[in-house]
A and B are shown apart, each in its own frame.
Chain A
Amino acid sequence: MEFKGLKQGLYAVYKGPTTFEGFLGALEAKLESAGSFFEGAHLAGVYGIELDDIEEDILAETLQNRYGIKIKRPLSSKDSPSRPEVNGDRVTRFVYSTLRSGQRVCYEGNVVVLGDVNAGAEIEAGGSIVVMGALRGSARAGVPDNHDASVSAILLRPIQLRIGEIAVRWPDEKTYSSEPEIAYIEQGRMYVRPIYDRK
Chain B
Amino acid sequence: MGEVIVITSGKGGVGKTTATANIGTALAVNGKKVVLVDADIGLRNLDVVMGLENRIVYDVVDVVEGVCRLRQALIKDKRYPDLFLLPAAQTKDKSAVSPAQMQELCERLKKEFDFVLIDCPAGIEQGFKNAIAGADRAIVVTTPEISAVRDADRIIGLLEASELGSPKLVVNRVRIDMVKKGDMMNTEDMIDILAIDLLGVVPDDESIVVSTNRGEPAVGDNRSLAGKAFNNIALRILGHDVPFLDLEVDEGFITKLLKLISKR
Contact = CB atoms under 8 A, between A and B. Distances in A.
B183 interface: no
B156 interface: yes
Interface in A156-197: none
Contacts of A103: 157
Contacts of B43: none
A101 B161 contact: no
Nearest to A39: B161
B163 interface: yes
B153 A101 contact: yes
B154 interface: yes
Interface string A114-127: 00101110000000
Contact of A120 (B154, B158, B163): B154
B153 A120 contact: yes
Most chain A beta-carbon contacts within 10 A, residue among B151, B161, B162, B195? B161
B157 A119 contact: no
A34 to B, nearest CB: 8
Given A37-B161, A100-B157, A119 B195 contact: no
B163 A102 contact: no
Contacts of B151: 101
Contacts of A120: 150, 153-154
What does DSSP make chain B's interface, helix, strand, loop or mixed? helix
Contacts of A101: 150-151, 153-154, 157
Contacts of A37: 161
Interface residues of B, number: 13
Most chain B beta-carbon contacts within 10 A, residue among A35, A36, A100, A118? A100
A165 B156 CA distance: 32
B193 interface: yes
B154 A98 contact: no
Interface string A71-115: 000000000000000000000000000111111000000000000
A120 B146 CA distance: 12
Contacts of B161: 34-37
A118 B157 CA distance: 11
A35 B195 contact: no
B5 to A, nearest CB: 21
B193 A35 contact: no
Given A99-B157, A100-B160, A120-B150, 5 more contacts: A100-B154, A102-B154, A102-B158, A118-B153, A119-B153
What 7 pairs between A and B have smallest CB-CB spacing? Answer: A35-B161, A100-B157, A101-B154, A101-B153, A102-B154, A36-B161, A100-B153
21 contacts: A35-B160, A35-B161, A35-B162, A36-B160, A36-B161, A37-B161, A98-B195, A99-B157, A100-B153, A100-B157, A101-B150, A101-B151, A101-B154, A101-B157, A102-B157, A103-B157, A116-B193, A118-B193, A119-B153, A120-B150, A120-B153
